């Protein structure tokens, strides 16, 4: 039986006693040359194509502030995710349960997991997961940007939402055979014409957008779309990739901060439309940008008179197929491949987190009667995003995944029997699907 700890913070006033305000923040979180990328699983930093950014908004109301932060990192895991929320909460004058930190999951970018780094450091010839000192400085920079942003908070009177289909980006990674098992994997890129010719499979084609307004003045925009955000990686060149290119172009277009959140893209990639060329990276970014523009053209703007924040910390059970003791033996094996030892450290870390009863954070923000922003942990499958939308018929649900990366992939329970890559990197138990669905229902339930 999973232990579910419930913590609920509500603001459901018909009108705000004090003016609602919003502050934006923007900080550079680019690692230095030589620092590990993707937790040490790919070539370390050799140079920088584009700087990595932590972008966010702080919403100030009658209750304690709410912080939404999108980070151009591959993952922020376990204790690091807790630490980020604590530091950002202090800077914003709020509590950690009212802070959502979501990675975008680019791979030429860091993984924040100090516990795994320190675990491996205790063994012979350890691989490096992250640059600890730099990462702490980067986090302090994000906190400083929040403190600076709060000095320029603006009133919020309206919220708007819209959506548009993204052309030729997302495709399902899992190609099923007639026997009900995964026959092929079509990941983020391929030059195989036969794989490119296969259908997209199950995706969410829509990019969703929410914007905040002060009267007729737009002050911040949030975008949500589900796909692995990589065109190519592993060359040591730090990049925010095609989703970051689209985001930054929109910010330049109208001079208003734009944020991008990666949705439930665990089993979604650009493989059908991406041959890992530079030209493909540009084209994918252009397609995301076009959908961002169109989604704002279709927006419906309404007065913002009600806001509600819900937090559900959930203790998730670790996958029993990979017990901590066995993972530690892999970690200490200096002859094993670095990637094997790092993956074992991640598994051991999540097993310890689960055994200690340390929860994984799930949250949602409700804006007015229609708009719901959902924040999930891990690399969740697209089915969870589609399920979330079903909970609010006629409403508008935008989902950000890649919060606490501790659980790794969160497939469906049946996915483990189907095979494929993702279940091999699922650190939470197969029955986590039930907990996921129950928590999503609680976070989105109409009051």
- Is 292 contained in some domain? yes
Cα–Cα distance for residue pair 133/111, rounded to 1 Å: 14
For 301, phi then psi, to 5°, come to -105, 130
The pLDDT, as a whole number, for residue 19 is 80
- Is 2 contained in some domain? no
Cα–Cα distance for residue pair 407/428, rounded to 1 Å: 5
73 DSSP 8-state letter: S
Q: Which residues are CB-contacts of 5 (< 8 A; sequence separation ≥ 6)?
A: 312, 313, 314, 315, 359
Other CB atoms within 10 Å distance of the CB of residue 39: 27
Helix/strand/coil for 372:
strand
Q: Which two tokens stand for residue 423?
A: 């279940």
Distances (CA, A) of 199 to 186, 196, 281, 292: 11, 8, 21, 24
The pLDDT, as a whole number, for residue 4 is 42
The pLDDT, as a whole number, for residue 447 is 76
Nearest partner of 428 among 367, 370, 379, 356, judged by Cα: 379
- Ranges of residues in the chain whose predicted pLDDT is under 70: 1-18
Other CB atoms within 10 Å distance of the CB of residue 49: 14
Range of the structural domain that residue 145 is part of: 7-444
- Is 115 contained in some domain? yes
Cα–Cα distance for residue pair 166/272, rounded to 1 Å: 14
The pLDDT, as a whole number, for residue 313 is 96
The pLDDT, as a whole number, for residue 87 is 98
- Is 1 contained in some domain? no
Helix/strand/coil for 98:
helix
Cα–Cα distance for residue pair 74/94, rounded to 1 Å: 26
Residue-wise pLDDT for 230-257, tens only, equals: 999 999 999 999 999 999 999 999 999 9
For 336, phi then psi, to 5°, come to -75, 155
Cβ pair 89, 142 in contact under 8 A: no
Cβ pair 72, 106 in contact under 8 A: yes
- Is 246 contained in some domain? yes
Question: Which run of H or of E encompasses 20?
Answer: none
Question: What's the structural domain count of the chain?
Answer: 1
Tokens 């591959």 sit on residue: 74
The pLDDT, as a whole number, for residue 56 is 98
Q: Which two tokens stand for residue 94?
A: 């709020």
What is the pTM (predicted TM-score) of this model?
A: 0.95
Give DSSP secondary structure letters for 167-215. PS--EESEEE-TTSSEEEE--S----HHHHHS---S---EEEEEEEEET
The pLDDT, as a whole number, for residue 18 is 63
**How would you classify the pairing of strands 99-103 and 174-176?**
unpaired
């Amino acid at each position: 039986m999973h232990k579910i700890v419930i913590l609920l913070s509500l603001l459901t006033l018909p009108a705000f006693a004090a003016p609602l305000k919003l502050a934006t923040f923007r900080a550079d979180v680019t690692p230095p040359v030589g620092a590990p990328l993707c937790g040490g699983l790919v070539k370390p930093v050799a140079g920088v194509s584009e700087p990595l950014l932590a972008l966010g908004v702080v919403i100030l109301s009658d209750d304690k502030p709410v912080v939404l932060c999108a980070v151009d990192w591959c993952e922020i895991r376990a204790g690091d995710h807790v630490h980020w929320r604590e530091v950002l909460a202090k800077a914003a004058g709020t509590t950690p349960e009212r802070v959502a930190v979501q990675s975008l999951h680019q791979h030429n970018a860091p993984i924040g997991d100090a516990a795994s780094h320190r675990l491996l450091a205790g063994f012979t010839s350890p691989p490096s997961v992250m640059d600890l000192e730099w990462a702490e400085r980067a986090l302090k920079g994000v906190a400083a940007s929040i403190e600076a942003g709060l000095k320029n908070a603006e009133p919020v009177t309206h919220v708007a939402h819209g959506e548009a289909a993204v052309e030729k980006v997302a495709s399902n990674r899992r190609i099923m055979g007639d026997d009900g098992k995964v026959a092929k994997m079509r990941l983020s890129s391929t030059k195989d014409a036969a794989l490119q010719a296969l259908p997209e499979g199950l995706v969410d084609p829509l990019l969703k957008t929410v914007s905040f307004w002060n009267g007729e003045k737009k002050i911040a925009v949030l975008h949500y779309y589900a796909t692995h955000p990589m065109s190519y990686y592993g060359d040591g060149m730090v990049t925010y990739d095609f989703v970051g290119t689209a985001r930054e172009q929109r910010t330049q277009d109208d001079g208003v901060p734009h944020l991008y959140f990666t949705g439930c893209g665990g089993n979604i990639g650009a493989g059908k439309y991406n041959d890992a060329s530079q030209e493909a990276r540009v084209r994918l970014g252009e397609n995301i940008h076009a959908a961002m523009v169109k989604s704002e053209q279709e927006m419906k703007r309404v007065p913002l008179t009600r806001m509600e924040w819900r937090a559900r910390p959930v203790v998730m059970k670790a996958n029993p197929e990979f017990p901590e003791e066995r993972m530690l033996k892999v970690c200490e094996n200096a002859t094993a491949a670095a990637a094997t030892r790092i993956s074992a450290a991640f598994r051991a870390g999540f097993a310890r987190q689960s055994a200690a009863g340390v929860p994984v954070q799930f949250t949602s923000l409700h804006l007015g009667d229609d708009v719901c922003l959902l924040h999930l942990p891990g690399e969740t499958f697209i089915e969870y995003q589609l399920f979330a939308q079903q909970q609010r018929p006629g409403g508008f649900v935008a989902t950000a995944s890649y919060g606490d990366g501790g659980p790794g992939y969160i497939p469906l329970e049946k996915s483990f029997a189907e095979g494929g890559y993702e279940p091999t990197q699922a650190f939470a138990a197969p029955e986590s699907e039930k907990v996921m669905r129950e928590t999503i229902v609680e976070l989105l339930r109409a009051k």
